[in-house]
Amino acid sequence: MTDSAGERARLRRYPELPVWVVEEHQEVLPFIYRAIGSKHLPDSNISFVHFDSHPDLLIPVNMPADTVFDKETLFGELSIENWIMPAVYAGHFSHVIWLHPTWAQQIREGKHHFLVGKDTSTTTIRVTSTDHYFLSDGLYVTEDQLENQKPVQLDVIMVKPYTLGNSQEEGDAVSSAKKPKLAREDAGHMASANCGSHSEGSEKDTAAQRRLQTDLEPSCSYSPESQECPAVVGTGDIPDILKKGDAFVLDIDLDFFSVKNPFKEMFTQEEYKILQELYQFKKPGTNLTEEDLVDCVDTRIHQLEDLEATFADLCDGDDEETVQKWASNPGMDALVPLVQSLKKRMDVPDYEMVHQAGLTCDYSELPHHVSTEQEIECLIQSVCYLLKNLPKPTLVTIARSSLDEYCPPEQVDTIQEKVLDVLRSLYGTLDLHLVYSAESSPS
């Protein structure tokens, strides 16, 4: 028996599947760490299955790498976009699977293998990935500049909503070879929209299954003629990978099903266009040398530092002289009409928020797709069938993301109940913790 297999055999098991529901996504990390501490999860080699409209794979830019070894300090440093990679550097996650809807394409599809480590020059966490997602945030360094290196595999996989009344050729979706091989089951037991049953489930769970079936069947019915599972993904490797792993955490952001870009409602179309111009990241060419990539990142870091300094100065005073001073810098002339427009609409513009919005305008916009009820139901069904073909997770974490309106507040409760119904139908009675609510279940 290998050390890894021995550790897996020694892990404790929860009597019921724990499900932690939080508001802001980084708030799930303490519950994952708690499971590591209680020996329900191993200390390392954890696979992390992440359904989300956003990767959440950035890194706190100025946080010392060693902060990850002081978990209470770490939790205070994290935010919604940068909470996963510190857990990779800490050695807990070795494999991240980002499953995203069709409207979210921030990272190139496919497998990514790279290193996460401590930058010897800044003592911060950095990566060797050359994907634009990391380059645009100034997070790339060369391998020889990293110490305490941790290899990570990142799989980026698109999940398509099951098409209404689906009977089209499978070529309209993805090829049979790319579907999870466990999905190519006998159509006889896959042909209903009931996403699974659990003989040990309570009466409530049975009712949840019936409700799920009722919700999904009219608009997203499965056609036995297609002989295919509605969970349409871009790879057949997920079930095999997770069977080989020590353990896996299932993580779901409810904005996977319906998402807003809240900044688009904070600014006018013209203001948002100016932000895109000011903060744009010019994608580098292909086949660049390490030196070219380092130069690209250095240029980007200086651009972001100048923009941060500009808006920090405007927080102290946005008189015409100050605005003109910053606008005289190369590429900054659009600052003048931006400030003029903001001051027309509000007495005291929140320039810190303007900068935060600008940071999301690099090489692509934040995803924005408010789903219809049918679209939500079809994505629910796709996720359901995909999970049915995976091993049971050790625990589930769910982020609502509604207070900051990434998940539309008017839809979040409905989506949450549908997701919980799926989990009950697959895994039976849940140990549910509504952390975001004053009526949270006891831990």
| Residue 45 Rama label (left phi>0; alpha psi -120 to 50; beta) | left
Judge contact between 238 and 390, C-beta under 8 A.
yes
Helix (H, G, I), strand (E, B) or coil at 184: coil
Judge contact between 49 and 390, C-beta under 8 A.
yes
Helices 290-316, 320-327: axis angle to 10 degrees equals 170
Judge contact between 91 and 119, C-beta under 8 A.
no
Mean pLDDT for the chain overall = 83
pLDDT in tens, 93-142: 999 999 999 999 999 999 999 999 999 999 999 999 999 999 999 999 99
Judge contact between 159 and 382, C-beta under 8 A.
yes
pLDDT at 215: 39
Amino acid, res. 377: E
> H or E element: which one contains 249?
strand 247-253
Helices 351-359, 290-316: axis angle to 10 degrees equals 160
Taking the model in full, what pTM does it have? 0.84
| Residue 88 Rama label (left phi>0; alpha psi -120 to 50; beta) | alpha
Q: Token pair for residue 276?
A: 């895109």
pLDDT at 338: 96
Looking at residue 280, what DSSP letter applies?
A: -
| Distance, CA of 57 to CA of 139 (rounded, Å) | 11
Look at residues 30, 159, 145, 13 and name the one whose alpha carbon lies nearest to residue 83: 30
Judge contact between 401 and 254, C-beta under 8 A.
yes
pLDDT at 31: 97
Burial 374-383 (b: 16+ CB within 10 A, else e): ebbbbbbbbb
| Distance, CA of 317 to CA of 223 (rounded, Å) | 63
Judge contact between 212 and 414, C-beta under 8 A.
no
DSSP percent split of the chain into helix, strand, coil, nearest 5: 45, 15, 40
Judge contact between 193 and 135, C-beta under 8 A.
no
CA distances from 227 to 184, 192, 224 (A): 7, 12, 5
> H or E element: which one contains 434?
strand 430-434
- Rg of the Cα trace of the chain? 23
Amino acid, res. 347: D
Look at residues 225, 155, 215, 148 and name the one whose alpha carbon lies nearest to residue 190: 225
pLDDT at 369: 96
**pLDDT tens-digit profile, the chain (443 residues):** 445 555 666 899 999 999 999 999 999 999 999 999 999 999 999 999 999 999 999 999 999 999 999 999 999 999 999 999 999 999 999 999 999 999 999 999 999 999 999 999 999 999 999 999 999 999 999 999 999 999 999 999 999 887 655 444 333 333 233 343 333 333 323 323 356 434 344 444 444 444 433 333 334 443 333 333 344 454 455 666 666 555 899 999 999 999 999 999 899 999 999 999 999 998 888 888 999 999 999 999 999 999 999 999 999 999 999 999 999 999 899 999 999 999 999 989 999 999 999 999 888 889 999 999 999 999 999 999 899 988 999 999 999 999 999 999 999 999 999 999 999 999 999 999 999 985 444 44
Amino acid, res. 340: Q
Task: List strand residue ranges (DSSP E) for 67-130, in order.
Answer: 93-100, 110-119, 125-127
Backbone angles phi, psi at 186, to 5 degrees: -60, 125
Residue 409: partners with Cβ closer than 8 Å, 6 or more residues away: 402, 403
The angle subtended at Cα 402 by Cα 404 and Cα 426, nearest 5°, is 145
Q: Token pair for residue 123?
A: 């003592």
Helices 373-388, 409-427: axis angle to 10 degrees equals 30
| Distance, CA of 436 to CA of 399 (rounded, Å) | 9
